[in-house]
Structure 1
Amino acid sequence: MTAQRLGTPTRVQPAKVAFASYAAIAGFLAELFPARSRHTGASVAYQVGGMVTSGPAPFVVGALFAAAGGSRVLACYIVAACVVTFAGLLAAGRDMGSVQ
């Protein structure tokens, strides 16, 4: 019983982080499109982004791990994905000063 209770917070914390990131994504995508095409635009952007990035990710990670023989290259892959994400946010051209 004690071991199960100690393990629960470690399983709950990643879910909280995922939920927080999905909340931010929804708000950001909704503001990228005009009201007339907002739902379709946000949905297509989210789904295509998921297909392009999440679809091949297990294959890329497996190939990188097999080629490098270690997990350090996987950390570099995650950092590269973060850099691409940040560059995409900058390219979106959203004026953060106008957000209240």
Structure 2
Amino acid sequence: MRWLGKLHNLNEVLSQYELMIAPMQSKAGIKIKVFEAIQSGLPVLGTINVFSGLPKPDQGFCSNHSNEWCEILENGGTFSYNIRESLQFQNKDR
């Protein structure tokens, strides 16, 4: 993690990443970064709280179970969300 300061083009920054990890433990708070990531086409791996009040993505991307997170991080998967087409995440280190 590193501080980037004020961002003039968030989509440009998000396009440099393959996956957003959002381990929110509370339902409180604004999930604007999750919305921005999904809108920009970045898959989000998050807890159930991250998607509270939202449609849930498919295939383990919405889970409170560490084994499901590890499966996605190790093997990749298809992030399907109703506002975007399916987005691919592949672990490039494999």
Specify the structure having the higher radius of gyration (Cα).
Answer: 1
TM normalised by structure 2 equals 0.25
| Structure with bigger RCO (C-alpha 8 Å, 6+ apart) | 2
TM normalised by structure 1 equals 0.24
Structure with bigger strand share is 2
